[in-house]
Structure 1
Amino acid sequence: MYQPSQLDVRRFFCATWRQGQAGQALDPMQALAWPWVQAHPEYHAELSDEARALSLSYAVEAGQTNPFLHLSMHLTISEQLAIDQPHGIRQAVELLAKRRGSMHEAHHGAMEALGEMIWQSQRSGLPPDGQAYLERVRTMATKD
């Protein structure tokens, strides 16, 4: 299984931005990432300066959003939807998109649930609970 480093991920998104802006061919993963990169103009300056992007650190305590983590989560959710894993996530996110008015906003809701699942797993030392994640997204999609 391929496990890219933090720097690999940053290089990937910077290259996707650079190639997409230049109208160059994108590989399949870049093609999946490109719409999400375009949807976040607030990250374009950081993506434009790869050397700076490789050197930055994002402190949650300082209220900083990590654009590379955010874009990676969009990719993760896109891949989950493509294979419907965990089973039922596609339907739950589609319902959430109807409720929130866009797939982009549904992704942000799913990111919140995904982040909660990862945090719980790290805190407890147990494997990630895909069913809890799915149920959280379903709840967002169906309850006020």
Structure 2
Amino acid sequence: MFNPSQADVRRFFCSVYAKSKAGQPLEAIEKIASLWIDEHHEYHVALSDVDAALQQMGQVEGDKTNPFLHLSMHLSITEQCSIDQPRGIRQAIELLTHRLDSLHDAHHAAMDCLGRMLWESQCAGRPPDGNAYVACVQRHATRD
């Protein structure tokens, strides 16, 4: 299993941004990351300076979203849907996308569920509960 460090994740997204801006060829995972980067113009400044990104690791700036965590969650949800793991996540995201008329907004809603699942797993010291995660996304998809 691939387990990148925070620094690895920051280097990856900064590299993807630089390669994309320069028109360089991208690997498959980089292409997916690039699409999500393009959706988040507000992160371009943070992605343009890898040294600053590495120096800012561990710093919390009020209620600002961590661009590297946020993009990592987009990438995770995209990968989960591509292999339907946990089982049912692909359909739940598709239903949520249809309800919200936006894949991007569906991902943002699913991030709440993904974050909750990971937090609960860490607090309880047990593996993540994929069924609860999918059920949470399904609830978002069926809300009025």
Sort the TM-score into its range (normalised by shorter chain): over 0.9
Maintained 8 Å contact 1:58/1:64: no
Q: Does 1:41 align with 2:65?
A: no
- Give a deviation string over 1:75-96, Cα, whole Å, max 9, x none: 0000000001111111110110
- Structure 1 residue 35: Cα displacement: 0.3
Unaligned runs of 5+ in 2: none
- Structure 1 residue 99: Cα displacement: 1.0
Give me the TM-score of the superposition, normalised by structure 2: 0.95
Give 1:74-89 correspondences, 5 Å limit.
Answer: 74-89=74-89
- Give a deviation string over 1:20-74, Cα, whole Å, max 9, x none: 01110011110111100010000000101111011113427x2121100000000
The count of residues paired between Structure 1 and Structure 2 equals 143
- Structure 1 residue 108: Cα displacement: 0.5
Give 1:68-107 correspondences, 5 Å limit.
Answer: 68-107=68-107
Give 1:103-118 correspondences, 5 Å limit.
Answer: 103-118=103-118
Maintained 8 Å contact 1:58/1:66: no
Give 1:1-144 correspondences, 5 Å limit.
Answer: 1-56=1-56, 57-59=58-60, 62-144=62-144
Unaligned runs of 5+ in 1: none
- Structure 1 residue 101: Cα displacement: 1.5
What root-mean-square deviation, in Å, do the aligned CA atoms of Structure 1 and Structure 2 show? 1.1
Percent of matched pairs sharing the same residue:
54
Structure 1 residue identity aligned to 2:90: R
Moved more, 11-20 or 117-126: 117-126
Give me the TM-score of the superposition, normalised by structure 1: 0.95
